[in-house]
């Protein structure tokens, strides 16, 4: 069996590099238009994936679900005091409208919106417009989700703010979007502004009170979406390893890295592994999730609908936002899985780091389900810097902005991600027995509490879709 793994290794490495089809896949996905939930591009992306995966000999199915869709309208943000000036802005996804007359109020700047900053000023938040940056400063946010956009938004709502302004912490005149809530409309209007507009606001605030007026219009509707599932049966059919990537992206973005890269990696691994005709121990399930960018809705529905078989899923590998930077495997607080991943890293002769768990996106849906999760991620922001900062891990780089385009993908880094995902996947699929312990409800709760996620989830009001471990 070791020979078969080595044969698969060679196939994966040579096909990924020599064929260079991953990059071509991302190019084609970016040409479909935005893949934001509810758009034509979202449907085209599903059709594209189905056509591709069928051509490799799979019989995929679409597991449909309905969710609350959201469509962007106008966003006008104007400083009205001490000067008059309009700011470049867009709405955060899922945020409500202000009504025609808008909302007018005094801004309260809460820095990076860390738990400490909210705590310090919580008595002043009521009826103010809370303004924070997108930064998650290292050391002040444990877990990093304490400084996630949705946690900051949730804290602003909890303490009575009437609107929320989110500023990109990285330069480049680009607003950074993202969702406000999961499958529900946000309670207060929320807009996002570029770094430079935020700096202007901060300067004015340092001199005295600043009032702004927001006029925002958005729409909600019911969207039909779906997860695409394709299976490669193993010798032990009911033992499963899943590799998943979301195919949607934000409406302001081409979604090249986030997550054209993940979709391309799954497609290529599905093609290459099947072509070898090697049968591994466990079944490999390739899942292309819908609606991740509205707070992991597709994966949450998947975990909810498959609750009876969650203990048969021996590993979930999440592939999201790759194509540049270093590589890390986030094992989401499953310590026994970290040991396994590090042993693979040694076998691959690849220096792999396990970061502090971030509990993000589709990975978190599986954590709730008790399933061991390894999320392959990028470390370090790709090629973006501030005049006031440096390349770091504290913000999302070009992600969620209109600059998440093909040109940001670094081919060598993209190959590396695909190869690492593939070589880990085949080893996990060929592992005899469980890879890490399946967690019951109490153990999942303990992991989340241990990392301070119970508080984060409270402010995020997450999950809105009820998902939990089988036992
Ligand atoms: Zn993503």
What pLDDT was estimated at residue 139? 81
Instruction: Compute the distance from residue 204 Cα to the ligand 1 centre, in Å.
Output: 35
Instruction: Compute the distance from residue 260 Cα to the ligand 1 centre, in Å.
Output: 9
| Structure-model confidence comparison of residues 173 and 16, the more confident one | 16
What pLDDT was estimated at residue 206? 97
Instruction: Compute the distance from residue 408 Cα to the ligand 1 centre, in Å.
Output: 15
> Would you say the pTM of this structure is higher than 0.85?
yes
Instruction: Compute the distance from residue 293 Cα to the ligand 1 centre, in Å.
Output: 7
Q: What is the mean pLDDT of residues 94-119?
A: 97
Instruction: Compute the distance from residue 399 Cα to the ligand 1 centre, in Å.
Output: 8
Please report which confidence band the pLDDT of residue 98 belongs to, taking 50, 70 and 90 as the band edges.
very high
Instruction: Compute the distance from residue 94 Cα to the ligand 1 centre, in Å.
Output: 16
Instruction: Compute the distance from residue 395 Cα to the ligand 1 centre, in Å.
Output: 14
- Rounded percentage of the chain residues whose pLDDT exceeds 70: 97
What pLDDT was estimated at residue 383? 44
Structural domains of the chain, ranges and CATH numbers in brackets? 2-69+222-460 (3.40.630.10), 73-217 (3.50.30.30)
Q: What is the mean pLDDT of residues 119-139?
A: 95
Please report which confidence band the pLDDT of residue 393 belongs to, taking 50, 70 and 90 as the band edges.
low
Instruction: Compute the distance from residue 114 Cα to the ligand 1 centre, in Å.
Output: 23
Q: Which ranges of 293-394 does DSSP label H, i.e. alpha helix?
A: 297-305, 335-347, 361-368
Nearest to 467 by CA among 376, 371, 402: 371
pLDDT digit string, tens, across residues 146-167 = 999 999 999 999 999 999 999 9
For 240-276, give the DSSP string.
EEEEEEE----TTS--IIIIIHHHHHHHHHHHHHHHH
Instruction: Compute the distance from residue 79 Cα to the ligand 1 centre, in Å.
Output: 33
Q: What is the mean pLDDT of residues 116-141?
A: 94
Instruction: Compute the distance from residue 288 Cα to the ligand 1 centre, in Å.
Output: 12
Instruction: Compute the distance from residue 345 Cα to the ligand 1 centre, in Å.
Output: 24
Instruction: Compute the distance from residue 290 Cα to the ligand 1 centre, in Å.
Output: 11
The distance between the two most distant Cα atoms of the chain, rounded to a whole number of Å, is: 72
pLDDT above 90 (res 398): no
φ/ψ (deg, to 5) at 66: -110, 145
Lowest mean pLDDT across 20-34, 283-297, 340-354: 340-354
Q: Please state, in angstroms and rounded to a whole number, the distance separating the CA atoms of residues 29 and 130.
A: 37
Question: Which residue matches tokens 């990537």?
Answer: 245
What pLDDT was estimated at residue 380? 65
Average pLDDT, the chain: 94
Nearest to 335 by CA among 429, 447, 244: 447
Instruction: Compute the distance from residue 227 Cα to the ligand 1 centre, in Å.
Output: 15
Instruction: Compute the distance from residue 248 Cα to the ligand 1 centre, in Å.
Output: 8
pLDDT digit string, tens, across residues 364-375 = 999 999 999 999
pLDDT above 90 (res 392): no
Instruction: Compute the distance from residue 261 Cα to the ligand 1 centre, in Å.
Output: 10
pLDDT above 70 (res 388): no
Q: Please state, in angstroms and rounded to a whole number, the distance separating the CA atoms of residues 114 and 150.
A: 12
Instruction: Compute the distance from residue 65 Cα to the ligand 1 centre, in Å.
Output: 19
pLDDT digit string, tens, across residues 48-85 = 999 999 999 999 999 999 999 999 999 999 999 999 99
Instruction: Compute the distance from residue 258 Cα to the ligand 1 centre, in Å.
Output: 5
What pLDDT was estimated at residue 150? 97
Instruction: Compute the distance from residue 244 Cα to the ligand 1 centre, in Å.
Output: 11
Please report which confidence band the pLDDT of residue 287 belongs to, taking 50, 70 and 90 as the band edges.
very high
Instruction: Compute the distance from residue 384 Cα to the ligand 1 centre, in Å.
Output: 18
What pLDDT was estimated at residue 385? 43
Please report which confidence band the pLDDT of residue 384 belongs to, taking 50, 70 and 90 as the band edges.
very low
Instruction: Compute the distance from residue 361 Cα to the ligand 1 centre, in Å.
Output: 7
Lowest mean pLDDT across 79-83, 205-209, 298-302, 397-401: 397-401
């Amino acid at each position: 069996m070791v020979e078969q793994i080595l044969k698969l290794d060679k196939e994966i490495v040579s096909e990924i590099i020599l064929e260079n089809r991953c990059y071509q896949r991302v190019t084609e996905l970016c040409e479909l238009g935005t893949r934001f939930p509810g758009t034509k591009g979202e449907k085209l992306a599903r059709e594209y994936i189905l056509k591709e995966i069928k051509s490799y000999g799979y019989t995929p199915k679409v597991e449909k679900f309905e969710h609350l869709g959201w469509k962007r309208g106008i966003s006008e943000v104007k400083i009205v005091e001490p000067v008059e000036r309009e700011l470049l802005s867009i709405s955060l996804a899922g945020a409500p409208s202000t009504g025609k007359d808008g909302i007018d109020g005094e801004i309260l700047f809460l820095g990076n919106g860390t738990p400490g900053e909210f705590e310090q000023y919580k008595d002043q938040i009521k009826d103010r417009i809370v303004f924070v940056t997108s930064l998650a400063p290292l050391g002040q946010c444990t877990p990093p989700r304490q400084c996630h956009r949705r946690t900051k938004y949730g804290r602003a709502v909890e303490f009575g703010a009437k609107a929320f302004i989110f500023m990109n912490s990285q330069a480049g005149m680009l607003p950074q979007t993202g969702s406000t809530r999961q499958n529900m409309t946000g309670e207060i209007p929320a807009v996002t502004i570029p770094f430079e507009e935020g700096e202007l606001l901060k300067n004015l605030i340092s001199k005295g009170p600043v009032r702004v007026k927001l006029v925002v219009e958005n729409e909600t509707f019911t969207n039909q979406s779906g997860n695409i599932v394709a299976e490669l049966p193993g010798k032990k059919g009911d033992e499963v390893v899943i590799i998943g990537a979301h195919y949607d992206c934000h409406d302001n973005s081409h979604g090249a890295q986030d997550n054209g890269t993940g979709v391309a990696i799954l497609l290529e691994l599905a093609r290459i592994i099947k072509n070898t005709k090697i049968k591994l121990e466990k079944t490999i399930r390739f899942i292309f999730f819908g609606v991740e960018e509205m707070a992991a809705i597709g994966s949450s529905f998947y975990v909810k609908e498959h609750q009876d078989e969650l203990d048969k899923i021996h590993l979930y590998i999440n592939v999201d936002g790759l194509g540049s930077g270093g590589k890390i495997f986030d094992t989401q607080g499953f310590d026994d899985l970290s040991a396994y991943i590090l042993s693979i890293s040694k076998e691959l002769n690849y220096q792999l780091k396990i970061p502090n768990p971030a509990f993000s996106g589709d990975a978190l849906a599986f954590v709730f389900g008790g399933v061991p999760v390894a999320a392959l991620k990028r470390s370090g922001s790709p090629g973006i810097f501030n005049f006031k900062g440096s390349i770091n891990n504290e913000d999302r780089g070009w992600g969620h902005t209109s600059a998440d385009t093909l040109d940001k993908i670094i081919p060598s880094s993209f190959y590396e991600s695909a190869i690492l995902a593939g070589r880990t996947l085949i080893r996990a699929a060929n592992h005899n027995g469980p890879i890490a312990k399946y967690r019951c409800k109490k153990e999942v709760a303990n992991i989340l509490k241990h990392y301070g996620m119970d508080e984060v989830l409270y402010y995020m009001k997450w999950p809105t879709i009820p998902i939990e471990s089988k036992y």
